[in-house]
Structure 1
Amino acid sequence: MLNSGNCTNCTTCGSCQQTPNVDTPNLFCMHCEPSEAPCLKACSEEAIEVLGGAITINGEKCNKCGDCVEVCPINVIKI
């Protein structure tokens, strides 16, 4: 599991990956347990999904409201 205190958002460890400043948010994060992920709970569009144990954003469902960004404990979600 990722030690968020050491995270520099470099995307090289494979625990979290994001592509900032894109039209469709992209995320592959394994920091939080899916059952406890604040972003998953905050998304009213159900655009945050679990894929193989990782948390992902379904770009087709995402309305870019930013609710997930506000609750992410390690600030990896960029919209």
Structure 2
Amino acid sequence: MFNSGHCTDCTTCGSCQQAPHVDTPTLFCMHCPPSEAPCLKACKQNAIEVLGGAITINGEKCNLCRDCVEVCPINVIKI
């Protein structure tokens, strides 16, 4: 079971995976249900998308504003 209090951004648990420290953020997260995902609701560019039940970031739409970073409950989005 995923415990956000123990998350070290290692990406080995499979709950979230991302490439850290990149110019265009990538994300594959299944922590929040898409209907409740704060990042999806916060993104004014509609760059946060749902792909097969997972939350992803469309790098072509993302303007690196960091609104999604500020609302992520498990701090997995790094820009």
1:39 Cα offset (Å): 0.2
Q: Which residue of 1 aligns with 2:2?
A: 2
Could you tell me which amino acid in structure 1 is paired with residue 65 of structure 2? C
TM-score (norm 1): 0.94
Q: Which residue of 1 aligns with 2:73?
A: 73
Determine what percentage of the aligned residue pairs are the same residue: 85
The total of aligned residue pairs comes to 79
Q: Which residue of 1 aligns with 2:24?
A: 24
When structure 1 is superposed on structure 2, of 3-12 and 41-50 the one drifting more is 3-12
Could you tell me which amino acid in structure 2 is paired with residue 32 of structure 1? C
1:28 Cα offset (Å): 0.4
1:3 Cα offset (Å): 2.0
1:6 Cα offset (Å): 2.2
Structure 1 CA distance for aligned equivalents of residues 29 and 2 of structure 2: 10
Secondary structure of the corresponding residue to residue 17 of structure 2: strand
Q: Which residue of 1 aligns with 2:53?
A: 53
Secondary structure of the corresponding residue to residue 55 of structure 1: strand
TM-score (norm 2): 0.94
Q: Which residue of 2 aligns with 1:62?
A: 62
Over aligned residue pairs, what C-alpha RMSD do you find? 1.0
1:2 Cα offset (Å): 2.5
1:27 Cα offset (Å): 0.3
